[in-house]
Every structure is written in structure tokens, then in C-alpha cells.
Amino acid sequence: MAADEPCWLPAIELATLIAAGETSPVEVVEAVLSRIDASQPGLNAFITVCHDGALAAAREAEAALARGDPPGPLHGVPFSVKDLVNTAGVRTTFGSLTMADNVPTGDSLTVARLKAAGAILIGKTTTPEFGHKPLTEGPLFGRTANPWSAGHTAGGSSGGAAAAAAAGLAPLALGTDGGGSIRIPAACCGVVGLKASLGRIPHDQAADIFGNLTYMGPITRTVADSALMLQIMAGPDPCDPFSLGLEEPDFQAAADGSGDLTGLRLAWRPYLGNTAIEPEILAMTEACLPVFEDLGARVEAQADDFTNTEPTWLVITHSVWASRFQHLVAQSANRMDPSLLAQVGKGNAYSAVELQDAARLRSELFRQVQGWFEDHDLIVMPTLTRTAVPIDSDPLGQVEIAGQAAGSLRAAWYPYTHPFNLTGHPAMTLPCGFAANGLPVGLQLVAPWHGEARLLRAAALFEAARPWAQRRPDLPL
């Protein structure tokens, strides 16, 4: 096996090789750490790298195998964690200078479950300050580049997680998604990103669990690895009322790639309250529809009867940020990202009535989207209206689509993602090819509430028909 080959193997394959003694956790972790160190100057996907802790955990994993201890499903497999998610004894900065020395005493539930399955924390990936924008940059760490093009963004806010997955810096990445923050960077970097149903993966860090629109979820290079991560992280917990009482399907079996899609009804929605999309992106995503039809599905085009959800999302999200971060602004504004300061200011300007109006619209939106599934089993759409934007783009400025200014970044670049944060529906982005500029293009599938197994099955069959994981970015290592 080549020195860096463990960096590219799927987690499922790595775990099998480790359990069989054909490779060791120490060899795998050393290979990944070496690649992370070599990539950092150009890619900058990590805020903290756990050199000592990861190697110590790898040695213990090796010793456990030598003792004959039964291995877990991820025994010895490295994983990264977005630096918004708590990790015991490892600093969690939230991408902010104001939290640069914060070291949690406990793991988030998701991290604890991955560790219990045998996975080894390799490091904390980059995120804009408190995950507030779709470009992964900030005063604490600088900028994270796209693995396929240093001049373009990795997306955000889980940009470090997606860049790490695409660049072979651990097969599993834990991200978060408050408006598309798993799916945007996954599409930009050519990997798989899954936002599950509200509550499917319990969220123990949500400040307002009843009004929550943020999610933790997997970013991986293969559908099967996302299914395995979901299997491990899902399941009820008292911290999250939306997790209670849910059945626990066999997500891994759903993603095994067997069978076909006979009888499945898909709705094609190329527009979702937006008016602009790059013609190349529209053509590439529409060209995926025959793949599903060849697998037995029936695809029907749907008219755009949708209103862009950016205004509703902004009222809720800006209000949350004003509530959470106003005290930091008062203390440390000169150390914070100007784009976060501007949005906290907007949050302070909303009235209680405007916030309640947004909550009402969110309920109406859920009923509208859930109604789509009376006639269809899955919804198919592009993930983004264009490929990754230039790395120095203004997060509060206009985005250019098809050579024209098309509106704000949130409304015009990713109108397909934030609606499903508001409604709670599971949504997954899959790589579907590369544009003429060499950057990846993503296709998004959306399922009804708790429809992750259906989503994973269709995604795995699409992946088998249109494989992508063999593509590797040519990094200047």
C-alpha cells in the first residue's frame, strides 16, 4: 500500500482492514497527519491538529486489537470535527479570536458517539466565526482554499470539513448546517454532504432547541460512509426532544447500492424561488435525471411555485446571532469579523412581531414542502446555482451568475439549501461532475421527514451509476 493510500480509502474499507490486521491504526493516523501537515500551508483546512492525542488514541486502538477486544465499526478510523462542535480537552474556538483559548470539558454527543464506535479525532476544521457565512475565512485562521482551485472558496461554513474530506485528510468529517453549511461546501469541494431530518441526529449544543434550524451531520467521499456516520450519530437522546420516539432504520443497508428504483417518483425542481442559474449547471444537473430513470424511477418536472426563503431565514438567524453574540460585540468588536458584526446589528433591528411572523412563515413553509411528498417520493434539484465563488468574494455582496449580478449570495447562490433548514426535511448533496472551469458541481436530493433511508438508497444507486470518489485533487503538497 502506498504511503498515502490510507488517506483515500473509505472509512468502511479502512475499518475492515484494521480489524483484519492488514493495516494498523497507527499507520493510518500517521499517514493522515503527514498529509494534513503537508497541505496546511496551501489548503488551511484545520484550526487545530491533534498530533499527540490522535497518535495516543491510535496506539491504544492497536493495543486493544492485540488484546483481542472486539473492534467497533470505526475502530482506528480518523475523523475531523468542525470547530463549532465541542471536543473534550481539545480547544473549540468557534472560528473566533474571542474563543481562541476555549477548551471544553466534554464532547458533544455526536463526537462521543463516533469515539465510542472507535473513531479517532484527528483535528478541528476551519469555520468562519460562529459559522456565520458561506465562505470559510476569519481573523483567527485566515482563509481555507478549495482543493480543486486555490483561487476559489471551499464554501462554508463547514468549509474546512469539506476541503479535508476532498483532500484525503481523514475519510469522515463532522460538519454543521444552519442554512446549507454542510451542503454548500460539499458541493463546492466535490464530496457528499448530508443534513438529516430535524432531531434525527440529536443536537446538544442548540441554544433554542424548539426553534432550532441548525444540524450536525456527515461530510464524506462516499454515500456509504455518510450512512455509517449517520447510523452511529443518530438515535434518541434527552437533550433533543425532536429525537425522542424515532424509529432507527438500518441506514447502512439502505446505502448498500443493491436493487433499483422501480416505482420511485421523483420531482425535478430546477428553480426554487430563484431566477438565475448558470446554464452549464442547469444542463449538468438535468443530465442526471436519466440516471434515475434508467434505475426505474419516474421523473416529473415541476413548475417553480416557491418564494425565496432568504428573508424568513435572515430574520430568525440574525435574531439568534444578536441574542448570542451581542455581549461579545460589546467586549471585543475590534477582534471580530466585520461581516458578523454587520449581521448582529441587523438582528438587533428586528422587532418581536417580525420574529413571530418569520416563525409563522416557517410553519407555512413546512406544510408546503411536506405537501410535495403526497405525489412524489424525492425532490431533485441543483445544490448551487454556480460553482464555488472566488476566494476573496464579499459575503454580503452580490454574486455573479452567467456574467450578471444576480443578487445576494444567500438568495442567489444557494436558494436550494436554506429552505430545508427551516422545514427540517433531510437533504443530501452528491457530486455530479465538473464544470468547464474544473470545479465540482453538486446535485441535491430532498426527502420527507425521517426519509433518510430512502434518500440514501437513491444516492447510493446514483453513485454506483456515476462514480466520483476516484477523482483526487492535485494539491501542491
Phi-psi region of 222 (alpha: psi -120 to 50; beta: other; left: phi over 0): beta
Q: Which of 115, 239, 244, 214 is nearest to 172 (CA)?
A: 115
What is the C-alpha separation between 86 and 93, in angstroms, rounded? 9
Catalytic residue among 24, 39, 80, 82: 82
Give the phi and the psi of residue 442 in degrees, each rounded to 5.
Answer: -115, 150
Give the phi and the psi of residue 224 in degrees, each rounded to 5.
Answer: -60, -40
Residue type, 39: S
Catalytic residue among 39, 108, 158, 181: 181
Is 157 labeled as catalytic in the residue annotation? yes
Nearest 10 degrees: CA dihedral of 34, 14, 438, 339?
-70
- Identify any residues that bridge with 33 across adjacent strands, giving them in sequence order: none
Residue type, 140: L
N residues, the chain = 477
Catalytic residue among 108, 157, 243, 393: 157
Is 82 labeled as catalytic in the residue annotation? yes
What is the C-alpha separation between 75 and 81, in angstroms, rounded? 17
- Per-residue exposure over 257-295, b if at least 16 CB sit within 10 Å of its own CB, e if not: eeeebeebebbbbbbbebebbbebbeebbbebbebbeeb
Pairing verdict, β 145-146 and 378-382: unpaired
What is the C-alpha separation between 75 and 15, in angstroms, rounded? 6
Residues with catalytic function: 82, 157, 181
